[in-house]
Structure 1
Amino acid sequence: MVHKEVADHIRSWRFIVLLALIVLTFITSMYVSLRNIKPAVSNISDPDHLFLYLKLLTTTDNTIPPFHVFISFLGPLLGISLGFDAINAEKNNGTLIRLMAQPVYRDNLLLSKFTGAMVIIATLFISLCLLMLGGGLLLTGVRIEPQELLRIATFIVFTIVYVSFWLALAILLSIQFKQAATSALTAIGVWLFFTVFYPIVVNLVIRAFLPDPSFLSRDEIAGYNEMILNILRVAPGQLYADATTTLLMPSVRSLGPLTMEQLAGAIPTPLPFKESLLIVWPQVSGLLAATVVCFAFSYYLFMRREIRS
C-alpha cells in the first residue's frame, strides 16, 4: 500500500509542479550563495565565517531569501498538496469501499497514506541537501566538518517534521470534509492565517494593551518582548524559523531578548552542536506534539467514520 501511494504521488501533476518549484528555488538559492560565499567566509567579524557549508544555506545578497526561508513558505504547500485529498478522493471515487472490502484494516490504510507521503518528503529534502554538499565540495574543495554535517542532518530532520505537520493537518481535513476542494482551501487558509495574518494580529492586539515603553525599565521591556515572542511561537512557521536559524547559525545564543547584564563579557563564538540543540528543543517538541495530535485526531475520526455509500 505504501508503494502504491508513493507511485501515485510521483505520477501526479501537482507533485511534479511543486517539485519543480522547490528544485528551482534550491538552485537559485545555491547560485546566490556560491556567488557570495567568498565575502561571507572572509568576513572575520562574523563568528560563523568558518562554517562554509552552513553558509551555503544562509548566505544571500538580499535579492532573494536563503533556502531555509523558502522552505518555510513552500514546505506547507508540499505537505498540503500530498494530503488534502488522501481520504475524501478515495471515497468520492468509490475506491474506499473496495479497499475496505479487502482484508485491510482502517489504521493500515491511514498509516500507508501518511507513510507514503513521508517517504516522498524525506527523499526530496535528503536528495537536495546531498546535492548541496556534493556541489559545494566540487566547487570549493573544502572538506566538511563533522559539526556542519550534524547541523545539516538535523536541519533535514526538522524540515521533515515541519512538513509532516502540514501533511497530518491536510489528512485530518480530508477526513473531516467530503470534498477535496473544501479540505484544500481550508488547509491553505490555515497556512495563510499563521503565515501572514497571525503576526499582524498579535502585534496589533498586544501592543494596544502594552503600557508606554518610555515608562518601563529595560527588564520590563525585555519581559514584554519575550511574551510577544512566546505568543508568536504558536505559529508552526515561527517554530521552524527559530529552530533552523539556531542550527544553521551557530553563533545564535538565545531565541529571546537579552539584557545588557547577560551580554556583558559574552564572547561572540559559535556554540557547540549540543548547546544549539538544547536551545531549539522546545520548538522541535512543539512541532512533534502538534503533528502527533493532528494524526491522532485523524485516526479517531477515520475509525468512527461511516464509509458505506
Structure 2
Amino acid sequence: MQSQPAFLKGLLPANGESNNASPFSVMVRKEVADQVRSWRFIILAGLILVTFLGSLYVSLTNIGRATANPQDPDRLFLYLKLLTITDGSLPPFHVFIGFLGPLLGIALGFDAINSEQSNGTLIRLMAQPIYRDSLLNAKFTASLIVVSILFFSLSLLMIGGGLITTGVKMEPSEFIRIMCFTALSVIYIAFWLNLSILLSVKFRQTATSALTAIAIWLFFTVFYQILLRIVVSAFLPDPGTLSQEQVASYNGAIITIMRLVPSQLYTDATTTLLMPSVRSLGPLTMEQMAGAIPSPLSIRESLLVVWPQVSGLIAATVVCFALSYYLFMRREIRT
C-alpha cells in the first residue's frame, strides 16, 4: 500500500483511529499545528511577548505613583492601570497591539490559499471528500484560535503578575474590562487576517499578497493621517473666522473620516474600555460639560460608548471574509 502524501497526513485517519471526526475539525487541528510550528508565528509571538513584558515592567514600576494621584478618576482601577500607564520609555501594551497586531494577522494569512496552489497541493486536497469552503473556513478558524489563545494567555499572565506583585484583589468590573479588551484585540487582528486571506485568494503569488497587505497596513497607519492633514489644511477655512458651532462641526467631520481607519476604531474602543472615566469619543460642548462630575462609567455604559467602533470592526471583518469566500468559491483551481 502506498504511503499518504505529506499534505494529507493528519487529514486522513490513521489505522485504528476513529472515523467520527469531521474533515473540518481535522483540518483545523492540522492548521493550528502548522501555524504554531511556523517560524514567522514564533518570531512575531516572541516579539509581542517581549513588548508585553516590557510594558508590564514599566507599569509595575510606576503603579504606585499612578494610583496615588488624587486628580485621576481611574486611580482605583489598579489592573487597568497595568495596561495604560507609562513613564514615556515604552508605550502602553494596547498601543503595541495596535501596531504589531496587524503584522501578526498578515503573517498568518497572506499565503493561506496561494501557497497551496503554488505547491500543487490545492487541487489534490480538493480531490478528497471535503467541501471547498471547509478549507477556507479551517484556515481562518485555526488562525483565530491561535491568536485567541495567545492574547488570552497574555491577559491572564498580566493578571497573575499583578496579583503576585501587588497582592490587591481584582474587582469583577476590571476583569470584565480586561476580557473585553482581549476580545476586541482578537477581533482587530481577525480583520487583518481576513484581509490577508482575501489577498491570498485574489493573487496567485505569495509575495504579491504579502506586499499588498503590508502596503495597505502602512497606508492606514502612516500615510492616511498625513494625507488627511494636508487636505484639511488646504480646504478648511481659517478657524479664527468660524463660530464655535462651525468648529465643532468641522471637528466632528474630521473625527468621522479618521474612524474609517481600523486602527482608529481599535484605539477609540480600547481607550474607553481601559479608562472608565472616558465618557465620549467626540468633542463635547460647554453645555454637555457643565455640571459633569468626573467619575468612572460602569462597564455597561462603556460598552454602549464603544459599540459603534466594535460594530465597525466586526462589519469590516465580515466583509473581507465574505469577499474571500465569494472569490474562492468561484475560483478555477485546476490551472
Relative to the length of structure 2, the TM-score reads 0.91
Within 5 Å, give how 1:227-266 maps onto structure 2.
227-266=253-292
Residue 153 of structure 1 is matched in structure 2 by 179
CA offset digits 1:48-78 (Å, max 9, x no partner): 0000000000010011110000000000000
Does the Cα contact within 8 Å between 1:29 and 1:65 map onto a contact in 2?
A: yes
The one of 316, 322, 325 aligned to 1:299: 325
Task: Select which of 147, 151, 155 maps to 1:129.
Answer: 155
Aligned counterpart, 2:210: 184
Q: Separation in 2 of the partners of 1:307 and 1:23?
A: 38
1:224 counterpart residue number: 250
Structure-2 residue corresponding to 1:101: 127
Match of 2:60 among 3, 25, 34: 34
Equivalent residues in 2 for 1:1-309 (5 A)?
Answer: 1-309=27-335
CA drift of 1:206 comes to: 2.3
State the secondary structure of the residue aligned to 1:306.
coil
1:218–1:259 Cα contact (<8 Å) kept: no
Name the structure with the higher helix share. Answer: 1
Question: What is the distance in 2 between the residues matched to 1:52 and 1:18?
Answer: 28
SS at 1:36 equivalent: helix
Secondary structure in structure 1 of the residue aligned to 2:50:
helix
**Post-superposition offset of 1:226:** 1.0
Distance in 2, matches of 1:220 and 1:68, equals: 34
Q: Aligned to 1:58, what secondary structure does the other structure show?
A: coil
Unpaired runs of at least 5, structure 2: 1-26
Kindly state the Cα deviation for residue 218 of structure 1 after the two structures are TM-superposed.
1.7
Structure 1 residue 273, shift from structure 2 partner: 0.8
Q: Distance in 1 between matches of 2:303 and 2:178?
A: 12
Residue by residue over 1:144-203, the C-alpha shift from the partner in whole angstroms, topping out at 9 and shown as x without a partner, is: 101101111110111000000000000000000011010000000000000000011112
1:219·1:259 contact (CA, 8 Å) conserved in 2?
no
Between the aligned partners of 1:278 and 1:224, the Cα distance in structure 2 is: 25
Where 2:83 maps in the other structure, the secondary structure is helix
Contact 1:96 1:307 in 2 (8 A): yes
CA contact (8 A) 1:87 1:174 kept: yes
Cα distance in structure 1, aligned partners of 2:278 and 2:204: 46
Equivalents in 2 of 1:17, 1:296: separation in Å?
30
Please report how far the alpha carbon of residue 259 of structure 1 lies from its aligned counterpart in structure 2 after TM superposition: 1.3
Q: Distance in 1 between matches of 2:157 and 2:292?
A: 37
Residue-by-residue CA offset, 1:279-308 (whole Å, 9 max, x unaligned):
110000000000000000000000000000
The alpha carbon displacement at 1:104 in A equals: 1.0
Runs in 1 of length 4+ with deviation above 2 angstroms? none
Rg bigger for which structure?
2
Deviation per residue, 1:7-37 (Å, 9 max, x gap): 1111111111001100000000000000000
Q: Distance in 2 between matches of 1:55 and 1:98?
A: 52
Q: TM-score, normalised by structure 1?
A: 0.99
Q: In the aligned structure 2, how far is the partner of 1:300 from the partner of 1:242? A: 31
